[in-house]
Amino acid sequence: MEAETVFWLNYPFGVYDFNGPWRRDVGGIYIMTGLNLQANLWIAQYIGETDSYHSRIPSHGMWPLAVQRGATHVHAMVVEREATRLAIEKELIQAFHPLLNTQHRLNWADLLFPVLGQGR
């Protein structure tokens, strides 16, 4: 049985149960997410990348926190090349601002109110 496909930006992701049989020894991007039934939208809780779903996902420390915030599924897309994974991960984090991600997030205060006199 093939997984349902959803798109994050223009990227196709398969929809999987966290403990399902999808965790192969391949690299890719994953999104810990839950469906907001009122809005009929997936809400990203955490976005990450790995060189192996098989070794990274089973013991991932963010899953319990993501579940507390409503995650029920993992969306996954195979991306073998590391540089491509890192670029897509950053793009998705900056587009969707998952609360559990701390890396790659834009600091809106710095963009709106630059520090005066910086570099002096």
Tell me the per-residue pLDDT of 94-118, one tens digit each, with 9 for 90 and over. Answer: 999 999 998 765 555 555 555 544 4
Tens digits of residue pLDDT in 29-65: 999 999 998 989 999 999 999 999 888 777 778 889 9
35 within 8 A of 42, measured Cβ to Cβ: yes
Domain 5-103 has CATH 3.90.470.10: no
Q: What is the DSSP string of 38-67?
A: TTTEEEEEEEEEES-HHHHSTT-THHHHHH
Domain ranges of the chain: 5-103
CA–CA gap between residue 101 and residue 111 (Å, rounded): 19
Q: In this predicted structure, what is the pLDDT of residue 106?
A: 57
Q: In this predicted structure, what is the pLDDT of residue 17?
A: 87
CA–CA gap between residue 71 and residue 79 (Å, rounded): 22
